[in-house]
Amino acid sequence: MQIRDLSIALGLPAPAGESGEISGVASLVDAGPKHLAALFNGRYRAAAESTRAGAVLVTAALAHHVPPTSIPLVTETARALWLRAIRCLHPERALAIPPVGRHPSAVIDADAQVHPAAHIGPLCVIEAGAQIGRGAILHGGVFVGIDAQIGDEVELLPHTVVLDACEIGAGTRVGPSAVIGGPGFAMDAEGPVPHLGRVRVGAAVTIGANACVDRGLVGDTVIGDGAHLDNLVQIGHGAVIGPGAIICGQAGVAGSAGLEAGVVVGGQAGIADHVRVAGGVRIAAQSGVTRDLEKAGDYSGHPAEPNRGRLQRMARLKRLVDP
């Protein structure tokens, strides 16, 4: 695209004078004359000053760091427009949909029900009573246990494990090597306690690579519609994750905890067992939630508390101890 046309597509004024051609996006360091780069974080000022990018999306406060060889596209929403530009210049290519049918190396029990419009990849194992919905895609090495239910248009990436009686809702995508329905940790003097519950995953959920969602001890572990679990997330037995919740990488939710709709949990944060988190709560990375959070808002620290008050207290303490 011409830089002028790209600017207009992003809702920005067309740059004055001649504008060159942009063929893609790149980082400030890697960009060449036909790349669009972005500068909306001050820590990258030095990289901007030496960039070879043809154009740079930049906030007004940082625009003076863009060299004269690059055309600055100044906006206070540089980050949002950067993401839009990526979609504009690199439209998502339709992935090749695997053909329907069963790979000859797949092992499918005679009592399993596999929709004829599903794709079963190489070395998949589908056990007795399992149901695979229309348009489902099971990539290589997927394991589906006894009586598990895989909904329509579900995609299970390589080596995903869905254990006995668990349910995956329509349109859900589960990342490589995720385990849905493993037993949680419960033990007494006689040894491990059997887990009798299931995992029920709603529709249009995304679950990242190597995530683990444990089956309930007695009741079910539930992941609500439209929730997003990042890579390496751990959900304990009997937890309930509300619709649209977002749980970032390496975060953990302990058994029987409940997160209401739209909760956001930052990376490496931990939610203690039986804790309730109200809808609209946002928990900062590496926070520890040890008691109920009953009001929407931002929380941080360990134990997690309202973020604003915590930062104010830290600032006062800093003034007391600094010379």
Tokens encoding 159: 């080596």
Cis upstream peptide for 91 (omega within 30°)? no
237 included as an active-site residue: yes
Strand spans (E) along 27-74: 35-39, 55-58, 71-74
Q: 126-131 long-range CB contacts below 8 Å, 24 or more apart?
A: 127/164
The greatest distance separating any two alpha carbons of the chain, rounded to the nearest whole angstrom, comes to 80
Cα end-to-end span (Å), the chain: 56
Is residue 197 within 8 Å of 221, Cβ to Cβ?
yes
Tokens found for residue 240: 């309930």
Q: Which of 35, 115, 237, 302 is catalytic?
A: 237
| Cβ pair 236, 253 in contact under 8 A | yes
Contact 167, 147 (CB under 8 A): no
**What would the two tokens of residue 5 be?**
């046309």
Active site residues: 237
